[in-house]
Structure 1
C-alpha cells in the first residue's frame, strides 16, 4: 500500500528507541516513551501559507528527522507498534539527523 501525503504533511516511520542505557541498564517495556526520531517515507507538496506564500517541506524522502514529542497522527498498518506510521505537519519537524 502506498500513501501520498497532502500539502503540508510528511509520512514517517518512528525509529525504535534503545532498550538499554549508556551505562548498560536494560529498561522495562513500561518505561517506553514515544519516539521522537523517524525516517521520512513520503513528503507532501509545498504548503500554502495564509499569506499565499509556498512553504516547502523541511526534509526529503529517506531523511531521518526529530519531531515534536506529541506531533503526528498515527496510522496502524498491523497489530504491533512496529507497524505504526505517522503523518506529521511540516511545522512539527524540529531537526534533520545528519
Structure 2
C-alpha cells in the first residue's frame, strides 16, 4: 500500500465486501494443558468488523449484505484478501463467500 492506514476505522469495505478478523484458536485444552502452535488448527471463525453497503442487482437496486458489524461468522480456511494494519491481520471477503452466521444461543 502506498499509504499506511493508521487504524482499521480508516478502512471502509466497498459494495458487498465484509471485513473480518479471525478469532484465534485456544492454545490450551479444557483441562489446562497448553498445546504447541503446530497442533492448534486454524479456526474458520471470525468477527465481522465492517461491511460495505451491498452490491447492485441487474436493475441497479441495492442488495444488502447478509451480516453486520459485530456478528460472528464461519469463513473458508483459504481465500479472501488479507489486509494488515500495524501488527493486526484482517481479511476482506465478499458476502457470498461467507459460509455461515453464528447465532448466539438463546435460552
TM-score, length-normalised on structure 1? 0.79
Q: Which one of the candidate residues 83, 86, 93 is aligned to 1:88?
A: 93
**Cα 1:47–1:64 shift into 2, 3 Å:** same
1:47 aligned partner: 55
The equivalent residue for 1:75 is 83
Contact 1:19–1:26 (CA under 8 A) maintained in structure 2: yes
Quick check: which one's strand share is greater?
A: 1
TM-score, length-normalised on structure 2?
Answer: 0.73
Structure 1 vs Structure 2 CA RMSD = 2.1
Distance in 1, matches of 2:26 and 2:37, equals 11
Partner of 2:16: 8
Unmatched tracts of structure 2, length 5 or more: 1-6
Larger Rg: 2
Distance (whole Å) between structure 1 residues aligned to residue 93 and residue 48 of structure 2: 10
